[in-house]
Amino acid sequence: MTAEPRPWLAPSASGPVGATVRLPGSKSMTARALVLAALADGPSVVERPLRARDTELMAAGLRAIGVAVDSSDDERWRLEPGPLRGPARVDVGLAGTIMRFLPPAAALAEGTVEFDGDPHARNRPLRPIVEALRSLGVSIDASATGGLPLTVRGAGLVEGGEAVIDASGSSQFVSGLLLSAPRFTKGLVLRHEGPPVPSAPHLRMTTHMLRAAGAVVDESVPDVWAVEPGPLRGRTWVIEPDLSGAAPFFAAAMVTGGSVTLGGWPAESWQPVGRLVELLTALGAEVTQSADGLTVRGSGQLHGITADLSEVSELTPVVSALAALADGPSELRGVEHIRGHETDRIAALATELGKAGAEVTEFRDGLRIEPRPLHQTDWETYADHRMAHAAAVIGLAVPGITLTDVGCTSKTLPEFPELWAGLVARS
């Protein structure tokens, strides 16, 4: 079920913002922790999880297949694995993490598990993971396009072994298979064949977390991941603040010449903080880390950049917004696969930035953005939280940016409108 659209006038800043923001846990880490906890040999605790549509639906999906998930405490979700079983129905919403991480787990269940989601979820690519699972002996019915709706006919076990996949459309195909692979009878040796796999840091997050749960993983050969069969340990997962969710808040410091600190940032992170720092620095920010957190300071001056965003493709909307406010042109490439994200983000950004007055050239794999004086527009959000973040960033500097629906931010940060208004009020 999707809620009624909630139009929202993005607030403009009257001066530099200055704030420490506390954001909930990483969507990607929470999703992995929940799946690993569900497949473990004992109870787990997920501390400081993200509570948002993607992770609530993940928890609901796991409950549907037999896992006890107690999410009553915001700070600490408790999971007690049980025998995985159907029949069950899983609503994936618009979450890539659910539609790619849960079918392999459902294959381990005894019984039928049906997956479906929001209208646009049916357009998101799934075929490669479906075909890889079939090659591993799993019975799956998929739509004519190879995607949702999907029915996994779990046999209570997956034999596993060797599989080949083209994961150029999403790193989540690989992550999804790897997360369940220790529970496959023969484990898994997965080989990617095709154009490069995007989002390498997300793959590293998957292998780090698998090892932290006791799995034996070899990724020494490029594009090959080998996971030995064996138990996953229940444990306590401490989730880091969501770095991608923080990106628009950092952008606010940069657009207004202010300063934003992400509180609670760990000394060592499993998220691609190095790449984010490089990008924000090239765009004109100063980034520092201290006991207070990760701080981004803007000078009020933004520079155009040429960048390959394939490792951090989910940052493309916010980086594009910054590029549209910069002092020179930018070229952002290497992200063809984001045409299969929550919406076709390349087309959506070209259209909406163009409507606001920027001169945008669309490439198959990215965008060239020539800043121009921007003006008010009704900004279509396409049910995409990060299109909403991009609009909010533009709105700081351009009065009259009205989002067609700010409600879509509930995918990863339901409190976004309030947090953003609070930040801008301190400008």
Name the binding residues for 3-phosphoshikimate: 27-28, 32, 170-172, 199, 314, 341
Q: Which is nearer to ligand S3P, 167 or 254 (CB)?
A: 167
Q: With binding defined as CB under 6 A, does residue 96 bind ligand PEP?
A: yes
Partners of 224 in the β-ladder: 191
Q: Are 355 and 370 in contact (CB under 8 A)?
A: no
The one of ligand PEP, ligand S3P, none whose footprint includes residue 424, by CB under 5 to 8 A per kind, is: none
Query: Considering only 73-81, 112-120, 166-174, 401-409, which stretch makes contact with ligand S3P by CB under 6 A?
Result: 166-174
178: three-class secondary structure by DSSP? helix
Q: Which residues of 33-70 are buried (b: 16+ CB within 10 A; e: fewer)?
A: bbbbbbbbeeebbbebbbbbbbbbbbbbbbbbbbbebe
Partners of 69 in the β-ladder: 79
List binders of ligand S3P among 178-207 (CB under 6 A).
Answer: 198-199, 202
Catalytic-labelled residue, pool 314, 336, 342, 352: 314
CA-closest candidate to residue 104, choices 48, 188, 214, 228: 188
CA-closest candidate to residue 146, choices 100, 79, 206: 100
User: Is there a catalytic annotation at residue 314?
Assistant: yes
- Interaction pattern, residues 256-295, with ligand S3P; x per rule: CB under 6 A: ----------------------------------------
Q: Which is nearer to ligand PEP, 126 or 398 (CB)?
A: 126
Query: Considering only 44-52, 68-76, 90-98, 288-296, which stretch makes contact with ligand PEP by CB under 6 A?
Result: 90-98
List binders of ligand S3P among 298-337 (CB under 6 A).
Answer: 313-314, 337
The one of ligand S3P, ligand PEP, none whose footprint includes residue 95, by CB under 5 to 8 A per kind, is: ligand PEP
In this structure, how many other beta carbons lie within 10 angstroms of the beta carbon of residue 75?
A: 11
The one of ligand S3P, ligand PEP, none whose footprint includes residue 202, by CB under 5 to 8 A per kind, is: ligand S3P
- Interaction pattern, residues 203-242, with ligand PEP; x per rule: CB under 6 A: ----------------------------------------
Q: Which is nearer to ligand PEP, 54 or 131 (CB)?
A: 54
Query: How long a stretch of residues is the chain?
Result: 427
The one of ligand PEP, ligand S3P, none whose footprint includes residue 261, by CB under 5 to 8 A per kind, is: none
- Interaction pattern, residues 23-62, with ligand S3P; x per rule: CB under 6 A: -----x--x-------------------------------
Give the 3-state secondary structure percentages of the chain, helix then strand then coil, rounded to 5: 35, 25, 40
Partners of 221 in the β-ladder: none
Q: Which is nearer to ligand PEP, 240 or 314 (CB)?
A: 314
CA-closest candidate to residue 76, choices 284, 239, 228, 275: 239
The whole-angstrom separation of Cα 358 and Cα 369 is 7
Q: How far is CA 226 from the centre of its chain?
A: 24
| Binding annotation for phosphoenolpyruvate | 27, 96, 124, 172, 345, 386, 411
| E strand or H helix at 365 | none
What lies within 8 Å, CB to CB, of 93 at 6+ separation is 53, 54, 57, 117, 118, 121, 411
- The binding site for ligand S3P (CB under 6 A) comprises 28, 31, 96-97, 170-172, 175, 198-199, 202, 313-314, 337
- The binding site for ligand PEP (CB under 6 A) comprises 95-97, 314, 341-342, 386, 412
Q: Which residues are catalytic?
A: 314
